[in-house]
Each structure stands twice: as structure tokens, then as C-alpha cells.
Amino acid sequence: MNYLAHLLLAENTPDSRIGNLLGDFMKGRIDQENSPYSSGIIKGIKTHFKVDEFTDKHEIFKQSKKRIYQSQGRFSGVLIDIFYDHFLAKNWHLFSSEKLETFADNIYIILQKNHNILPERLQLILPRIILENWLVSYGKIEGITRTCQRLSKRIKRPNNCAHRGADLFEIAHHDLQQNYQELEKDFLSFFPELVKYVNTNRHTF
């Protein structure tokens, strides 16, 4: 899953929100004794990893990957993570009583207040995340386009995530458009199962 899903699946505390986001910026195992993070943040990071593990093994997620594997290969999982965030933003009202715009604003406030403990890479991109309102932008195709372009620049190997200078509908995430209804059905079947998994097992993470 991508940023928006991890943040929604966190507990409603600043530490849990931070931890669930930090999982995308962490590598290796967490040494709790020597970690600079609070127990709440560490639990959030562990929750992030459990969510990723559940997702990667789930048959519906695998089915979504197969829909675009022919054109995206090993990057199909990364793109499905992003596409699922699009469908989450689009169907936000099904999973939260709080408006997406309000949720996003609260997340940005939490990150700004805790800027000094964030990983350097997250510190560097945080102003852009807020300025371009990434969390809300996922709900629009244009937002997914920009996300794919950012991803393409980060990946050193040749890939089809985006083509610089290409028209919006020529960008390789046309896979989303070509498989839109099927992928949305996949997401709407999968995400409630993920929510149930997290809520049922959160105390064990």
C-alpha cells in the first residue's frame, strides 16, 4: 500500500500516524532499545510492515498485479500500490467519516510539528508533499500522473512508469485507465479485508 492507505490504517494518534508513514522510509529491522523513536512510532512502523506483508501475499493484490504485469513487469506491485491509493481517495467516504481534505491537513500539521525526527528524505520532500497536497491529489488521474513521474525519476533502471514530455494519456500508467473498472473492483474487495486484518491484529504488532 502507499502513503494514504498506511496513514488511514494507523491509530488516531500522532505517533502512530508518523510510524505508519515512516515504514516507507526505513530499511532493515528496528532496534527498539537504540531507536530514537517512541514506542508508539515503532509500533506504527511495525504495523506498516505487517500491512505490506498482508498485501503482498493477498490473492486479490496478486490479481491486480497480473492485470498490468505484461507492460510493467517487476514494477507492477509498486504501481498497484499507487493505484490503490487512488481508489482509496476516490472512495474515501466508504472508509472514513472524516473528509479527506481535513484528514490530509491534520497529517501535514503532525509532520510539520515533528519535522526534526523525520528521516532526511522525508524532511526534504515534505514541503512539496504539503504544497502539492499529495494525499488529496491521489483522487484525481492527474495526481497519479505526477506520482508516476516522481517514481520514474527515482528508479534508476529503465521503466515505463512515466515518459518525460509525453502527453498525459501516453504515460505508462495508461494501465490504470485500461484496467480501471477491474482494478477498482479489486481494491473495493481487498481493502475491507485489510482494514479487518489490521483492526483484529493491531494489538499483536
The alpha carbon torsion through 102, 103, 106, 107 (nearest 10 deg) reads -150
pLDDT along the chain (205 residues), means of 10: 95 97 81 78 94 97 93 84 95 97 98 95 94 94 79 58 42 78 98 98 92
**pTM for the whole structure:** 0.89
Domain region containing 160: 3-204
Residue 14 CB partners (closer than 8 Å, separation 6+): 110, 113, 114
Tell me the one-letter amino acid at 145: T
Count Cβ atoms within 10 A of the Cβ of residue 1 and give its class: 0-12 exposed, 13-18 middle, 19 or more buried: buried
For helices 180-201 and 76-90, angle between their N-to-C axes, nearest 10 degrees: 80
Tell me the one-letter amino acid at 193: E
What pLDDT shows up at residue 142?
82
Q: How many separate domains does the chain show? A: 1
What pLDDT shows up at residue 57?
97
What pLDDT shows up at residue 29?
65
What pLDDT shows up at residue 167?
38
**Dihedral sign computed on CA atoms, order 22, 28, 33, 34:** negative
